[in-house]
Amino acid sequence: MLKAVIFDMDGVIVDSEPIHFEVDKRVMKKCGFIASDDILNPYVGVSNPEMWKDLKEKYNLILSVEELLKLQSELKIEVLNETKIEAIDGIIELLSDLRRNKIILAVASSSPRLFIETILETIKIREYFNAILSGEEVQRGKPYPDIFLKTAEMLKVNPHECIVIEDSTNGVKAALSAGMKCIGYANLNSGSQDLSRASTIVDSICEINHHFMISIM
């Protein structure tokens, strides 16, 4: 039985992956390295500390992980303030439909909590969610299942009673490893992502509703 739906945020609730790509490229440039989308694509869905630890080791970046995170955070808020953020088509309708059907809702995103809260408040949907969890608040980020398992625990539901909506390879892996069904949203702005292991794949959030979710449980 479906009791809870867990949303990734970036690329699912809002089209913010382009913001992350732009900011991460600027951070890399500060370190004297020009990063391409191909370099950054594998990190979609990965928590920032894990991403910068790996990139620093791989490309010998001159800043410490702490400095990289601080610069990224500052630039992200700066870019966010310059950008008009709107919910992805179909999200408001989906949240309303699920709430009408008494489904518990949560956000489990690899972004920092401040960024998550700012986005949800900006597009005025914070009230829909019973729980919010950042990838920086668990021991291991996606593709490990920690964030989804902890979210289910916070919601007081079993993992097999949850459906996750994800747009990244790492997110799909994490959801399935947690024992949850996963809807893969093929968002073109999320880069080259392999969603083939998802329970089902959609090209638009508008394709999803309560009845659709019940059918894949």
- Catalytic sites, residue numbers: 8, 10
Q: Of 2, 47, 43, 4, which is closest to residue 149 (Cα–Cα)?
A: 4
**Could you give the strand order of the β-sheet that contains 131-134, starting from the edge strand earlier in sequence?**
131-134, 104-109, 4-7, 162-166, 181-185, 200-202
Strands (E), 124-177: 131-134, 162-166
Give Cα 156 distance to the centre of its chain: 21
- Count other C-beta atoms under 10 Å from residue 156's C-beta: 11
d(CA 147, CA 109): 8
Which residue shows structure tokens 């700012």? 118
d(CA 147, CA 131): 12
Strand-pair partners of 182:
164
